[in-house]
């Protein structure tokens, strides 16, 4: 029997709802087809945006959406995506798949998407190949509320009022596709570009600097030292690849038990990354004024056979559900420093929550984890600890159980637990100090390790109600099935 201790009197940090954020790039079929189909599409839409996708994303309460990239952001020139659609530039998306980008989805369409989703926009500006003037005028175009050439242009394009824009990234992966810079050089450029990212009227921009790739602690060190006082947050990127090779990352659906445990072991590494980058940040920012944002995370496999290698289309199994559950638990537990995270990417790309095919749409196991975990949004992280043993194969051993716990504003406790074992269930005795339990509700997502939803069988993997618990005097007892993600609410 495992023991879960929860201290309802010990609230540790607020779990910003933005930790449950998403990322959508002009890449493959994410924006075009997946989200935007145009006003004349037979697919039901509102102002060109798919109704089915918006409804599904609203159900999981997407709090913030990052756009237009990714690598695309540092090649994107925002003026190409405004004005009458017939006159917008057509070009080749050289970075992703060599397809025609007709710029029919631009700033106005993205802001309309965020309006429909009722989420915060998070825009990444072009520092790699764009000018300071270009970045400055984009922010002016979107947020200036007085008389100015950019505000005038916005009005000519049909938008009278400025938009509210909080999150703005200054370059993407500037150590790689965003310019191959050294941290010292980027830190100086960051200082320069951010100077002209202005606050107009009541709009206050939260400035996000490009952070490290994985374990590049030196990047964090240099950025914090040279530019820390000019930023609100630093953005880390880290993907989970089953294999270490980018040429042979591994299949999304065809994998064995060893691959399962190796993937989960590699995703658990996010904890070390966040911990060690936080230590570096603590040195320069002990009051934790600068946030750590993980604005690209998720699994990255070989593309589905027969699909464009530049489209990064992959299926999504129970393994992805566990990856999502583990990472979200990690972000919750580090919410004193991690203020936002954005899974890559919302629809049809990498660890997508939604896949589309023409008029059809399916929800992936990862979607269901976001649904199970949504109660953590804006709740307070509670002190918790869980005993557990190691499971897995030889060098791929992982802890069997992984949890996080929060309390919402109405005093309800939310427990999310992943069972990483493929073969063994675990019975847990949970003791909750500081809370009398009246009732418990729960849902669990479980299945074969490589079970996934298809357009022919869209509900093979979906959560079911969980009632199999016993109330005790000071807590509860329940059994978590093998290969599962569970969410319990204690009232
Ligand atoms: O998400 C796909 C790509 O991964 C992004 O464009 C880039 O930022 C990262 O390398």
How many whole angstroms separate alpha carbon 430 and alpha carbon 145?
54
Which residue has a Cα nearest atom 2 of ligand 1?
Answer: 70
Give the other-Cβ count within 10 Å of 155's Cβ: 12
Residues within a 6 A CB radius of ligand 1: 25, 69-71, 172-173, 296, 344-345, 350
Which residue has a Cα nearest atom 6 of ligand 1?
Answer: 70
- What pLDDT is attached to residue 96? 95
Number of the ligand 1 atom closest to the C-alpha atom of 344: 1
Give first-to-last CA distance, the chain, whole Å.
24
- What pLDDT is attached to residue 458? 98
CB 231 within 8 A of CB 209: yes
CA–centroid distance, residue 298 to ligand 1 (Å):
11
- What pLDDT is attached to residue 473? 86
Which residue has a Cα nearest atom 3 of ligand 1?
Answer: 70
For residue 95, CA distances in Å to 350, 405, 433 come to 16, 41, 53
Based on the residue annotation, tell me whether 357 is a catalytic residue of this protein: no
- What pLDDT is attached to residue 474? 84
CA–centroid distance, residue 70 to ligand 1 (Å):
5
The continuous run of DSSP H or E covering 154 comes out as: helix 149-156
CB 50 within 8 A of CB 37: yes
135-149 pLDDT, tens digit each: 999 999 999 999 999
Tell me the best of 24, 177, 348 to mutate to test the pocket of ligand 1, counting ligand atoms within 8 Å of each CB and taking the most: 177
Which residue has a Cα nearest atom 9 of ligand 1?
Answer: 70
CA–centroid distance, residue 350 to ligand 1 (Å):
10
How many CA atoms are closer than 13 Å to the CA of 454, on its beta-carbon side? 6
CA–centroid distance, residue 390 to ligand 1 (Å):
33
CA–centroid distance, residue 25 to ligand 1 (Å):
8
167-170 and 206-213 strand pairing = parallel
How many whole angstroms separate alpha carbon 174 and alpha carbon 180?
6
Residue of 75, 134, 296, 380 with catalytic role: 296
155-191 pLDDT, tens digit each: 999 999 999 999 999 999 999 999 999 999 999 999 9
Residue of 109, 173, 375, 380 with catalytic role: 173
**Residue written as token pair 């175009």:** 141
Low-confidence ranges of the chain (pLDDT < 70): none
Based on the residue annotation, tell me whether 173 is a catalytic residue of this protein: yes
């Amino acid at each position: 029997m495992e023991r879960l201790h929860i201290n309802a009197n010990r609230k540790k940090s607020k779990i910003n709802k933005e930790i449950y954020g998403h990322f959508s790039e002009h890449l493959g079929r994410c924006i075009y087809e997946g989200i935007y189909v145009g006003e004349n599409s037979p697919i039901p839409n509102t102002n060109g945006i798919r109704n089915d996708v918006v409804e599904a994303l609203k159900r999981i309460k997407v709090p913030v959406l990052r756009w237009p990239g990714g690598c695309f952001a540092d090649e994107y020139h925002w003026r190409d995506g405004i004005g009458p659609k017939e006159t917008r530039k057509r070009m080749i998306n050289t970075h992703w798949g060599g397809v025609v980008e007709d710029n029919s989805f631009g700033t106005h369409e993205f802001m309309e998407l965020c309006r429909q989703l009722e989420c915060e926009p998070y825009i990444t500006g072009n520092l790699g190949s764009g000018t300071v003037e270009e970045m400055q005028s984009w922010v002016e175009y979107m947020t200036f509320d007085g008389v100015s050439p950019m505000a005038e242009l916005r009005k000519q394009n049909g938008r009278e009022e400025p938009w509210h824009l909080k999150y703005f990234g200054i370059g993407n992966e500037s150590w790689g596709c965003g310019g191959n810079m050294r941290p010292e050089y980027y830190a100086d450029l960051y200082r320069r570009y951010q100077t002209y990212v202005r606050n107009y009227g009541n709009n206050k921009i939260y400035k996000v600097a490009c952070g490290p790739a994985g374990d590049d602690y030196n990047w964090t060190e240099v950025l914090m030292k040279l530019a820390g006082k000019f930023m609100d947050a630093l953005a880390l990127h880290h993907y989970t690849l089953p294999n270490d090779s980018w040429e042979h990352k591994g299949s999304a659906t065809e994998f064995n038990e060893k691959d399962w445990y190796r993937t989960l072991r590699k995703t658990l590494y996010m904890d070390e990354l966040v911990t060690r980058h936080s230590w570096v940040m603590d040195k320069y920012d002990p009051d934790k004024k600068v946030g750590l944002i993980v604005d690209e995370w998720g699994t990255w496999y070989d593309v589905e056979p027969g699909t464009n290698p530049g489209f990064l289309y992959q299926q999504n199994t129970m393994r992805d559900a566990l990856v999502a559950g583990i990472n979200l638990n990690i972000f919750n537990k580090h919410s004193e420093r991690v203020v936002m995270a954005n899974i890559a990417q919302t629809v049809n790309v990498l660890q997508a929550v939604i896949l589309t095919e023409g008029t059809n749409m399916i929800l992936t196991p990862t979607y269901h984890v976001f649904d199970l975990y949504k109660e953590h949004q804006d709740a307070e992280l509670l002190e918790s600890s869980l005993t557990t043993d190691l499971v897995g194969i030889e060098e791929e051993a992982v802890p069997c159980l992984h949890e996080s716990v929060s309390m919402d504003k109405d005093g309800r406790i939310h427990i999310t637990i992943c069972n990483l074992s493929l073969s063994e269930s675990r019975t847990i005795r949970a003791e909750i100090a500081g809370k009398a339990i009246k009732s418990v509700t729960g849902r669990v997502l479980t299945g074969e390790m490589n079970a996934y939803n298809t357009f022919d069988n869209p509900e093979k993997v979906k959560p079911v109600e969980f009632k199999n618990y016993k109330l005790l005097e000071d807590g509860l007892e329940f059994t978590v099935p093998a290969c599962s993600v569970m969410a319990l609410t204690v009232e």
